[in-house]
């Protein structure tokens, strides 16, 4: 059951003077259990694209097949619960969505909405509180007493607690310190390994290199490239032409002018191995 976008276009404020094309004839297919990164500049349509995955936005034309549902321009807001149970979406700064009296209740909000009974919702909340690396004793505290980083984790736990098959993330690490960031990315990576699909909107090319196995590149509402990270980052002149950054490792490697790499190193690990190989030759 893959994710399939077929000629999807989206127009903002159609018919008004502010009319703007958000997505322009976007088609692609993503494999189950993949880790797909969506990259591109601010305003390129990444976020618009992401909001189509669970029908927060519905295509102006074209259709989307995802998690057993079909989204078309005619899809109404009713009966979307099944879709949203399976496809979830985490916005930037998700800590702003917290509202319950206790951390545990907040995490259980999603599961309850999706039909878990109160007992099961609590149990799931308890489990995910632990999995996102939060101490057990904060369960009954108000989420608003926590630090920014902890609040972020509570919000993420609140989405993971009903175990959506497909998890879409918009810059989940922005504003966190490096340690918290790395932990969070690791959490999503493990979630993928446990058999789920991850879609990550990001500006961080190191994360793309490290975790993604598939990349969508957006520009002005169009999908301009869909390939594996290795292929995308190997084409340095293409990246330059579209003002896209490179992973730090490949940027470093490309300056080692008298080294030869069979594959351009994308991660630090690959870079070290490549340097070693060249020096031992």
Partner 1 sequence: MNKILIGRYIAGDSIVYKMDPRGKLVATILFIFVIFLANNPATYAILTIFSLVAVAATKLKGKVFWDGVKPIIWLILFTSLLQLFFTVGGKVYWQWMMLAVSSYGIINAIYIFIRFTLIVLISTVMTVTTMPLEIADAIEWLLTPLKLFKVPVDKIALVMSIALRFVPTLFDQTFKIMNAQRARGADFNNGGLITRAKAITPLLVPLFISSLETAIDLATAMESRGYRGDQGRTRYRILQWSLYDLINLVYFIILVILLLIFRTH
Partner 2 sequence: MTIDNIIKIRNVSFTYPDAKEPAINNVTFDIERGSWTSIIGHNGSGKSTIIRLINGLLDAGENANSKIEVDGIRLTQKTVWDIRDRVGVVFQNPDNQFVGATVADDVAFGLENRGVSRLEMMKIVPKAIAAVGMSEYADSEPGSLSGGQKQRVAIAGIIAIKPKIIILDEATSMLDPDGRSQVLQIVQQMKDKYGLTVIAITHDIDETALADQVLVMNDGQIVTQGKPESVFKKTKLLNELGLTVPFVQQVKKDLQSNAINIPDTINSEKELINYLCQLNSKK
Q: Which residues inside 155-184 make contact with partner 2, applying CB under 8 A?
A: 174-180, 182
Minimum CB separation of residue 94 from partner 1 in Å reads 7
Residue that is written with structure tokens 């690791």 in the block: 186
| Residue 268 found at the interface with partner 2 (CB under 8 A) | yes
Range 76-105, binding partner 2 (CB under 8 A): none
Stretch that binds partner 2, among 11-19, 55-63, 73-81, 141-149 (CB under 8 A): 141-149
> Measured in Å, how far apart are the chain's first and last C-alpha atoms?
46
* 12, 28, 238, 252: residue in contact with partner 2 (rule CB under 8 A): 252
Q: Is 148 in the site for partner 2 (CB under 8 A)?
A: yes
- Give the C-alpha separation, 75 to 31, whole Å: 24
- Distance between CA atoms of 128 and 15, rounded to whole angstroms? 45
Which stretches within 132-257 are classed as H helix? 148-160, 178-193, 205-211, 229-234, 236-241, 248-255
Length of the chain: 281
Q: Which does 96 bind (CB under 5 to 8 A by kind): partner 1, partner 2, none?
A: partner 1
Q: 122 to each of 187, 191, 196, how far by Cα in Å?
A: 21, 20, 22
Question: Is 203 near partner 2 (CB under 8 A)?
Answer: yes
Among 10, 91, 128, 211, binds partner 1 (CB under 8 A): 91
**Cβ(261)–Cβ(254) under 8 Å?**
no
Task: Check binding of 58 to partner 1 (CB under 8 A).
Answer: no
Nearer to partner 2, 17 or 178 (CB): 178
Please report how close the Cβ of residue 98 comes to partner 1 at its closest, in angstroms.
7
Of these, 94, 229, 247, 274, which contacts partner 1 (CB under 8 A)?
94
In the complex, least distance from residue 220 CB atom to partner 2, rounded to whole angstroms: 15
- The stretch among 9-17, 131-139, 144-152, 190-198 that binds partner 2 (CB under 8 A) is 144-152
Please state the closest distance from residue 249 (CB atom) to partner 1, in A.
34
Specify the residue for token string 């305003």: 43
63 interacts with partner 1 by CB under 8 A: no
Of 166, 128, 202, residue with least CA distance to 33: 166
Strands (E), 31-174: 35-39, 61-66, 69-71, 87-90, 166-170
Query: What distance lies between CA 184 and its chain's CA centroid?
Result: 12
Residue 54 CB, nearest approach to partner 1 (Å): 6
Q: Rule CB under 8 A: say whether 115 interacts with partner 2.
A: no
With beta carbons less than 8 A apart as the criterion, state whether 37 and 230 touch: no
Question: What, of partner 1, partner 2, none, does residue 257 touch, CB below 5 to 8 Å by kind?
Answer: partner 2
**Tokens linked to 7:** 């000629």
């Amino acid at each position: 059951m893959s994710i399939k976008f077929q000629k999807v276009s989206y127009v903002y404020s159609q018919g008004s003077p502010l009319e703007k094309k958000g997505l322009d004839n976007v088609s692609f297919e993503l494999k189950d259990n993949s880790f797909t990164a969506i990259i591109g500049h601010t305003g390129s349509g990444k976020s618009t694209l992401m909001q189509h995955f669970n029908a927060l936005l519905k295509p102006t034309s074209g259709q989307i097949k995802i998690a057993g549902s079909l989204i078309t321009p005619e899809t109404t807001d009713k009966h979307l619960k099944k879709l949203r149970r399976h496809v979830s979406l985490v916005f930037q700064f998700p800590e702003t969505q917290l509202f319950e009296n206790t951390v545990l209740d907040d995490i259980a909000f999603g599961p309850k909405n999706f039909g878990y009974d109160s007992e099961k919702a609590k149990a799931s909340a308890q489990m995910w509180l632990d999995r996102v690396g939060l101490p057990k004793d904060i369960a009954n505290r108000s989420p608003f007493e926590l630090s920014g980083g902890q609040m972020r984790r509570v919000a993420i736990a609140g989405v993971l607690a009903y175990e959506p098959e497909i998890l879409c993330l918009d810059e989940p690490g922005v504003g966190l310190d490096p340690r918290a960031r790395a932990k969070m990315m690791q959490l999503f990576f493990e979630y993928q390994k446990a058999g789920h699909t991850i879609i990550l909107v990001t500006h961080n090319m190191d994360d793309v290199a490290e975790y993604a196995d598939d990349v969508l590149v957006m520009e002005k509402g169009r999908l301009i490239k869909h390939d594996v990270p290795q292929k995308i980052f190997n084409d340095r002149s293409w990246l330059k032409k579209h003002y896209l950054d490179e992973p730090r490792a490949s940027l470093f490697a490309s300056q080692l002018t008298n080294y030869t790499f069979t594959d351009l190193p994308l991660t630090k690990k690959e870079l070290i191995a490549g340097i070693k190989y060249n020096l031992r030759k």
